[in-house]
Amino acid sequence: MRVSYFLIILLISLQSYSIYTLQNHPLAKLWRINDTEVPEWLNAEKHLIMIYGNLRPILAQINFISSFGGPYINIFENCPYKESLHFENVTNSMVQLKFYFQEITLLANNFDVRGALVYIDIGLNNIVIYFFESDIDNTKFINAVEPFNPEIIYANTQSVLQNIIRP
């Protein structure tokens, strides 16, 4: 009987044992931190989301929206704890990036582009066009999107520095 109670207590304690203490937690891998640090980072993320929620109504006003680039949390520099609020000058506002994105995706459809991914990269403050295959001729499309000055990356090149053909 004691063995049964012991096993039940052991099972209950294992169930309440946090999943964050498991080895190789997916968030720990993504953030390149120790598994035991995941709960702390999640709390920091909640804090930053709360701050952005408070600022959002102010930043959404007409006079700010045209110059606001959007929120961005760079967890890889481990700065959520150092500074909760940081403003940085950017070239493109979020409104402008969304417009560029829509125009580039329309052009991609018109040119029937295959094997490409178009997305907004907040860290780069630009539109990125990522080509999975470099052997497909997309010259006409690339020339058509040139006015939007996107970052163009080819997956099949050897180094990241060589991937970006337009600064």
Mean pLDDT by runs of 10 across the 167 residues of the chain is: 62 55 71 84 82 75 64 60 64 89 96 92 90 87 96 72 42
Is the Cβ–Cβ distance between 118 and 147 less than 8 Å?
Answer: no
pTM of the model: 0.55
Sheet (strand 151-154) strand order: 116-121, 126-131, 151-154
Please, are residues 126 and 76 in contact by the beta-carbon 8 Å criterion? no
Q: How far apart are CA 104 and CA 111, in angstroms?
A: 10
Residue 165 tokens read as: 């053909």
Give the pLDDT confidence score for residue 163 in this predicted structure.
41
pLDDT (0 to 100) of residue 143: 95
Q: Residue 167 has what pLDDT?
A: 38
Residue 159 is predicted with a pLDDT of 44
Q: What is the pLDDT of residue 162?
A: 41
pLDDT for 64 = 63
